[in-house]
Structure formats: structure tokens, C-alpha cells
Amino acid sequence: GQQVMQIPQYQHVQEGEDFTTYCNSSTTLSNIQWYKQRPGGHPVFLIQLVKSGEVKKQKRLTFQFGEAKKNSSLHITATQTTDVGTYFCAGIPGNQFYFGTGTSLTVIP
């Protein structure tokens, strides 16, 4: 069945360091979405990638969709304490969302 794997599961960084989380699908995806969940909160939509090789930026966040549309990454430059939370990818092979297991980011001031 459809699987979306996400690594690493946990990441601790010093404030100011960069952070990257990777998402890999067992099948080709039509779209991929990224969400952020703050501690004690609910997931909030960040961005959607649709095209092969697509790169999108939101301030210090850079999102990439692989050429084969089976993997994606989220990179945060110069992390801040406000970046703390769990980042989820959601792969969409058809019309259903398959969430990765998430990467929990801790930023040490």
C-alpha cells in the first residue's frame, strides 16, 4: 500500500543552524503538501507543490519536489525558536492524503 516516510523523526538544533526534513513516497505523487504543528496545536497548511522539480520559498523556508515526484524536502535556514514544532508532509497520489510520520524540531536558544 501507499507509504510516505519522513526522516529524521526528531531533530535538535542550536538557534541559527539550518534544518532539513525529507519525505519519500513509495509511489509517484500528484501533489505534496507540507504542514506545521506547534506543540499542543493542530497541523497548519504551509505549502503545496505540484510540478516535478518545483522549488518554492517562504522567507527562510525552502520546499522542493523531486524530479520523479516521489520525494520532497523542507529546508529552514537559520532556525529561530518560533520554528519549533512538528513538520509533516502529506503525499497525494490520487485524491487521498497520506501523511508522513513527521519530524519534530527542537530549537535550542
Partner 1 sequence: DGGITQSPKYLFRKEGQNVTLSCEQNLNHDAMYWYRQDPGQGLRLIYYSQIVNDFQKGDIAEGYSVSREKKESFPLTVTSAQKNPTAFYLCASSGREAISPLHFGNGTRLTVT
Which residue, 10, 1, 3, is CA-closest to 70? 3
65 binds partner 1 (CB under 8 A): no
Residue choice 7, 44, 55, 68 for contact with partner 1 (CB under 8 A): 44
Residue choice 11, 24, 27, 48 for contact with partner 1 (CB under 8 A): 48
Rounded CA separation 53/46 (Å): 18
Residue choice 16, 26, 38, 45 for contact with partner 1 (CB under 8 A): 45
Q: Which is nearer to partner 1, 19 or 35 (CB)?
A: 35
Q: What is the largest CA-CA distance in the chain?
A: 41
93 binds partner 1 (CB under 8 A): no
Rounded CA separation 5/16 (Å): 27
Residue choice 41, 58, 68, 78 for contact with partner 1 (CB under 8 A): 41
Residue choice 74, 90, 105, 107 for contact with partner 1 (CB under 8 A): 90
Q: Pull the grid cell for residue 75.
A: 529546508
- What is the binding site for partner 1 (CB under 8 A)? 6, 9, 30-31, 33, 35, 41-45, 48, 88, 90, 92, 95-97, 99-102
